[in-house]
Every structure is written in structure tokens, then in C-alpha cells.
Amino acid sequence: MFAAEKAVIASDDLGGMTELVKDGERGLLVPPGDVDALANAMKWMDAYSLETQEMGKKARAYASEIHSSAAHYKRLMGIYKSVMEINDV
């Protein structure tokens, strides 16, 4: 969803979701199983569409910067380089 410039609502205890979503910045986090919190988050996003759109923009920027193929390639090449330096290849 981030690549589509969409803010998300996610559970705040599902693995890495708290890192990815970052409550209030790239979406909203709600407690698992809390139907009222989910409904309130949905209502908030509907009522504050400009803020929600801004979250979507931040989500896309995050995805492009951190999770793009270019970013993964750069990190992988850094790993290879450090391994080669350790082994004096």
C-alpha cells in the first residue's frame, strides 16, 4: 500500500508492523481485536482526509527510500564489500 501512496491501519502487535506503519506518520496502529479502535481509526481517516493523504505521501517516500530495489541493492553491495574487506579478497 505504501508504494500506492496510501496510509494504512494495522494492528500494533503484528511483528514489524509498528516499525513499518509508524503510528500517526505513515498510518494508524490499533490494538489487536479492538473493534472500536479500528472503527475510530477508520472514522479519523475519513474525517481528516488531508492528514491521511499526507501520511500516504510519507508512506510512499519511506517505501521508495528504504524498500526500493535500489536501496536493497545498495545495502547488499555494502555487505559484499565488507565481507571482501574482512577476507582481503
pTM metric for this prediction: 0.72
Phi and psi of 42, rounded to 5°? -65, -45
Q: For 32-71, how does the pLDDT look when each residue is reduced to its tens digit (9 = 90+)?
A: 999 999 999 999 999 999 999 999 999 999 888 877 778 7
What's the whole-number mean pLDDT along residues 71-82? 85
Domain coordinates in residue numbering, the chain:
2-86
What pLDDT was estimated at residue 46? 97
Q: What is the pLDDT of residue 27?
A: 95
On the question of pLDDT at 89 being above 60, the answer is: no
Give the per-residue SS3 of 12-70.
CCCCCHHHHHCECCCEEEECCCCHHHHHHHHHHHHHCHHHHHHHHHHHHHHHHHHCCHH
The CATH architecture one would assign to domain 2-86 is 3-Layer(aba) Sandwich (3.40)
**Please, what is the angle between helix 69-86 and helix 49-66, to 10°?**
30
Q: For residues 51 and 80, which has the higher predicted lDDT (pLDDT)? A: 51
- Percent of the chain past pLDDT 70, that is, above it, reads 97
